[in-house]
Structure 1
């Protein structure tokens, strides 16, 4: 019927001949219509062949965007896509997530559903129902005299003061008004403009709503009314989908451990930003506290006090040995090695101070390597003293050829060779994967650990392993020499000192691995202090007792008598 009526309009004859026009009077120069998209499209198929302008005032059909096929088609309506965007933004503005869809029972209604439903899903809006109604409308035709060249550059203000302009696609370059249908008790109604949808504004700003002009129905208990499948989840809770229900219907579950939600309708709980953790209600994040062994910590104060105490004791012992350097007991145990051992023990105590305070690049580079090298010097000195005792005893036997090996050169060689290996390990460590300041945000829930990253854990355990090797060799040699004559016998004390040293460091590894943060640092400080104090006490306390409290025993005659 549309094709027939269009042809009748063009050729003005009940029995028309296609492509043949009788006369030249009152020819059609433009057509207004139709209202529906299917009618307009059918008309455009005929009118486009004759290049007759067609002005539609209600068609949104997307097919007419084809400007080659429909080059004579003009629409006095904005782009349909903007209308869909406006509907979505209007629903989001009032937070309506549970809506019904009512559309006309025709092609336009079907196209509306096909377009709007994916957009609803994308914006987390559910359709509670979908219904169609029969489509009956009546309209009046208005006569317009336009031609193509005029239509393409049309621009005027209508009676409402709105600018009428067509865009490059033949569409009205305008937006939509948002109207509120206000009804009265006598069933009359009036449309009130409460907002607009302007396509010329920046993205996200197209919708404008004047809530003061909106008149909600008296039956609503809340303004604006809620449109939700179920209540919003409170902060601290996340959504869990109900089986067999649409995604707008959900249950609210408490956030999992170490996650939070601080807004209503959050889809899922999320993790706090780096350096923060959820509060007890899991509805906001709290900044984590820094964790390092600061100078004001009780552990640090105790450690510093212990360092100063043991350092003072070491200096006093060194002073005693220097003062009595010409006495028999000092000479009998190699004065040079004794001085090296005491100085290295003093440095061992002092190096623990680098473990206290905020980790810095310099302290991270030096604290493990310096502690490893200094301890290796101390252990090498003990090994040299032990070997010297054994060789000195063997050299007293008649006809022994070992006498030429006994002397300071051998002792110094042992100390140097034992220490240089550890120096090489530490240099390789610093050259390949040096320690550096780091932060650990994940090991502890409420604290950020400031630490020295060792760079290579393997190299750290190589340093400890080499110290263990030196201690084991010293213990073995000292244990075998423990029953040598008393005048040379420092081996008994060295045996005890190595037992203390090995016990401390064997217990250190599992304890160190099972702690975190400042307590891990405190464990290493304690191990260094305990092992150094064990060496100092076991080796030097008997000698200091004789030098200070029993000076009558500190002479050559007493040593020879004890030997016999």
Structure 2
């Protein structure tokens, strides 16, 4: 926890923020109030720097571990202080100094040192300050959020300004609980949303999450998990790492990662917790995972763990915005014991950076006396910082150091605004200003919250009502530099306040994935279902684990892969073979272009020539006995109707339309009724003619042309009435039938009223049955030219055809229904023509001697 003091002279008392020092540093500790009173121990000139340490007296021994990046944060504070005191003219006649208190990364120590800060004496008395000549204005720190919370809660009671450069917990934005806390690091509330957007951007749907046993991190990781679920992304494992990870836990987590099919793992942990796990993965040569890092370690972790560099190559995640600090790189290279001889950390840093050790018997800071003959093991002080590997001493990228730099300048500008305050301008209480030489911390807090300035890099720094700066994260890619060290490369930005679609900006081509991953790696539980398939979730498994099931008939997936449901095609469309597109259904009907239709048409036309030929023969031989004996007029009518019956089948061979649908069944019914009526009339005429020759028979008066005409007209009129009623009530109409075939549309005629259709057929059957019965009874009449036996056989053929037509008509579908009816028309018509007229044509053409009066009477030789 860094404390900035406002005094007329400059003094720097340095200690670590979570750092640890050696015994020499412990021996050099001083308590604030005694130090203030012992003026003889202070430097005589303002340019000198005294380096001391104020620590918790209860700490007896400290482990000499060192964090170079945290040391750079301290140096950023030193640099900012020197820059203001030496170069800047922001505070005229005022020099700045600071104190450093060690929190040891624990809440208890943080509270103790906060109380020491407030009382400025060894005996903790927060309401009493023994410091007489310099006034503590504010504090910068702490770095860790869970340590900052109790500090902010305590300092908030006294409205003591606190500016953190590393605590991003959303809870700290609560100004009721933490009224004096502000920060130069973005609030991490939006970090889970940003991480989710990165995962969505790369189309990863199967990930693992490792998170630390920390209230703030648990909340963030749960928030991330919920956000991922909203995007349909599943979590393969959600594992917590305790603060101290035992070896058994390391093995369990390593086994889990090794066995999991999730290739992407989000890390919400600290370096100390994860190092052992990563080292175990390296030993197992598991290097095909993509690590997605939260801000906690993507900004400043794993820089010295060379054994896991190979594993972390290709990691992507959020890092603190890397700002510029002009002149800071040169300052870092010029840090030396000669320049800061009282810096208790510089020797520790030097030993860690160069891998050497200082002679134990030399505590004097005179470098000339510390030379040893073993230069490879002992530190000389002549080592050059410019030769250090950037992984050990990074000087090209400043993240938290940049935030520390801005935190220091926020206090400076707040102090400047307080000193420059004029009554009515920038004042806060009744239009008055605070006394710049004797102000209260709550008065100074007002200026800290309202500070707004541009730093030396030209970046605007200000705080919102919650004490937060605008959220802007770097998206960093962890790569292995050609020089052999791990480096974070900026590949994009994330700002949640931008318009949708512009919050996350990524340069995919700039990202270097792990070795062997030439393109964006995939992390899915199940491979994407291609077009034509849908996802079927596996029972008992997350929704991201599924099987790909083909779409049902008539359904497709054509928009995106991984469809949950298939889309049903329109009624007049059907699926293609791949089931990824709906295609227009084939239209089917009997036409002259297709083989079936053209064949039936040719047969109908050819067969129609036969009754025409017979009619020509009958007309030519109209005066012969056989033509006269078989009712010449009825024969003409029958032949003409038979020819039309053949031709009426052509009405069925064409695309169905309203006219053809109305005509074809009606024409068929009426023509066949005339045909059967004519045959019935011929049969009755034969019976009447034979019985009329008997003496005293009353049938003589029915002999003549009137009787056949009446029979034909009456019988046909009944059929005409049936057809007229059919057309009047429920006429046939064209229809696109999609019931028969799923992939085809059959254009057919809907009969309208199927009952009327069967009434029409039934009446034809009735006429045929009557004709058959009459002809059957008259077949034995003693007449050489008696055609009753031929009519009997023809009716037998006719009735047989139409009786077999009904089940065939009902069992077929599509164009074959029409084909069956055409076949029935042609076959029944041909049967009538053949059975009735072929015997007569045989006699007329081949047995002319029988076609004479003598032959008619049976007197031929």
TM-score in terms of structure 2 length = 0.49
Task: State the 1:348 CA deviation.
Answer: 2.0
CA distance in 2, matches of 1:74, 1:195: 26
Can you list the C-alpha shifts for 1:48-87, whole angstroms capped at 9, x where unaligned?
xx9xxx99994657998xx9xx9x9999969967x65554
Residues 37, 60 of structure 1: 8 Å contact kept: no
Q: Pick which of 180-189 and 317-326 moved more.
A: 180-189
Larger radius of gyration: 2
Aligned to 2:542: 246
The match for 1:500 among 797, 801, 821 is: 797
Structure 1 CA distance, aligned partners of 2:238 and 2:218? 11
Q: How much does 1:99 deviate?
A: 0.4
What's the CA shift for 1:520?
Answer: 4.0
Q: Tell me the residue number matched to 2:199.
A: 91
Q: Give the CA deviation at 1:310.
A: 1.2
> How far apart are residue 171 of structure 1 and its match?
9.6
Equivalent in 672, 677, 680 of residue 383 of structure 1: 680
Matched, 1:420 2:721: yes
Q: CA deviation at 1:213?
A: 1.2
Structural mapping, 1:415-494, within 5 Å: 415-430=716-731, 434-438=732-736, 440=738, 443=741, 448-454=744-750, 456=752, 458-459=754-755, 460-486=757-783, 489-494=786-791
Provide the rounded CA distance (Å) in 2 between the counterparts of 1:169 and 1:546: 120
- Find out whether 1:299 has 2:407 as its counterpart: no
Counterpart for residue 130 of structure 1: 238
The separation in 2 between residues aligned to 1:74 and 1:462, in whole angstroms, is 96
Q: 1:225 Cα shift?
A: 2.1
Equivalent residue for 1:102, pick from 199, 210, 213: 210
**3-state SS, counterpart of residue 99 of structure 1:** strand
Q: In the aligned structure 2, how far is the partner of 1:165 from the partner of 1:355? A: 88
Give a deviation string over 1:352-401, Cα, whole Å, max 9, x none: 22333444444344333332333233233333333444444455554444
User: CA contact under 8 A between 2:740 and 2:814: conserved in structure 1?
Assistant: no
Please state whether the residue corresponding to 2:736 is helix, strand or coil.
strand
Alignment partner of 1:217 out of 509, 514, 521: 514
1:18-417 to structure 2, matched below 5 A, reads: 58=168, 86-103=194-211, 105-106=213-214, 108-132=216-240, 143=410, 177-182=474-479, 189-197=486-494, 207-218=504-515, 220-229=516-525, 231=527, 241-251=537-547, 266=562, 270=566, 273=569, 274-278=573-577, 290-404=587-701, 407=707, 408-417=709-718
Structure 1 CA distance, aligned partners of 2:553 and 2:765?
42
Distance change (3 Å), C-alpha of 1:252 and 1:413? closer
- Alpha-carbon distance, 1:538 to partner: 1.3
Partner of residue 21, structure 1: none
Aligned equivalent of 2:419: none
Q: Please identify, of 179-188 and 117-126, the stretch whose mean Cα deviation from structure 2 is larger.
A: 179-188
SS in 2 for 1:543: helix
Greater shift, 342-351 or 184-193, is seen at 184-193
Deviation at residue 480 of structure 1 after TM alignment: 3.0
Distance 1:437 1:171, change over 3 A: farther
2:309 maps to what in 1?
none
**Partner SS state of residue 246, structure 1:** coil
Q: Is the 8 A contact 1:278 1:285 kept in 2?
A: no
Distance 1:250 1:368, change over 3 A: same
Say if 1:256 and 1:269, in contact at 8 Å, map to a contact too. no
| Cα drift, residue 177 of structure 1 | 4.7
- Contact 1:259 / 1:269 at 8 angstroms: preserved in 2? no
State the Cα distance separating 1:234 from its structure 2 match: 6.6
What SS class does the counterpart of residue 266 from structure 1 fall into?
Answer: coil
Alignment partners' CA distance in 1, 2:675 and 2:458: 97
SS at match of 2:748: strand
Partners of 2:760 and 2:454 in 1: CA distance: 88
| 1:452 CA displacement | 0.9
**Unmatched 5+ residue regions in structure 2?**
1-106, 120-124, 128-134, 244-268, 271-295, 297-399, 415-425, 429-446
293-302 or 402-411, which moves further after superposition? 402-411
Question: Which residue does the alignment assign to 2:260?
Answer: none
Q: In structure 2, how many angstroms separate the alpha carbons of the residues matched to 1:462 and 1:235?
A: 52
**How much does 1:316 deviate?**
1.7
Which stretch shifts more, 497-506 or 118-127?
118-127
SS in structure 2 at match of 1:474? helix
Measure, in 1, the Cα distance between the counterparts of 2:172 and 2:619: 103
User: Distance in 1 between the 2:534 and 2:503 partners?
Assistant: 31
CA RMSD of aligned residues (A): 5.6
Structure 1 CA distance, aligned partners of 2:567 and 2:522? Answer: 30
Greater shift in the superposed pair: 264-273 or 415-424: 264-273
Alignment CA distance shift 1:351-1:467 (3 Å): same
Does the CA-based 8 Å contact 1:358-1:450 persist in structure 2?
no
- CA separation of 1:545/1:269 partners in 2, compared to 1, >3 Å: closer, same or farther? farther
Q: 1:458 to 1:229 in 2, by over 3 A?
A: same
Q: Shift in Å at residue 451 of structure 1? A: 2.0
Q: For residues 240-268 of structure 1, what are the alpha-carbon distances to aligned partners after superposition, in whole Å with 9 as ceiling and x for unaligned? A: 55454434334566777787778996356
Alpha-carbon distance in 1 for matches of 2:739, 2:467: 59
Change (3 A) 1:61 1:413: farther
Question: Are the aligned partners of 2:206 and 2:525 in contact in 1 as well (CA < 8 Å)?
Answer: yes
Structure 1 248/490 Cα, relative in aligned 2: closer, same or farther at 3 Å?
A: same
User: Deviation at 1:34?
Assistant: 12
Q: After alignment, is 94-103 or 118-127 more displaced?
A: 118-127
Which shows bigger deviation, 540-549 or 481-490? 481-490
Q: Give the 3-state SS of the residue equivalent to 1:278 in structure 2.
A: coil
Shift of 1:127: 0.9
- Cα–Cα, structure 1 residues 384 and 423, in superposed 2: closer, same or farther, change >3 Å? farther
- Secondary structure at the aligned position of 2:512 is classed as coil
Which has the higher mean CA deviation after the structures are superposed, 199-208 or 324-333? 199-208
2:730 aligned counterpart, secondary structure:
helix
Distance 1:200 1:109, change over 3 A: closer
CA gap of 1:480–1:436, structure 2 versus 1, over 3 A, is same
Displacement, 1:493?
1.9
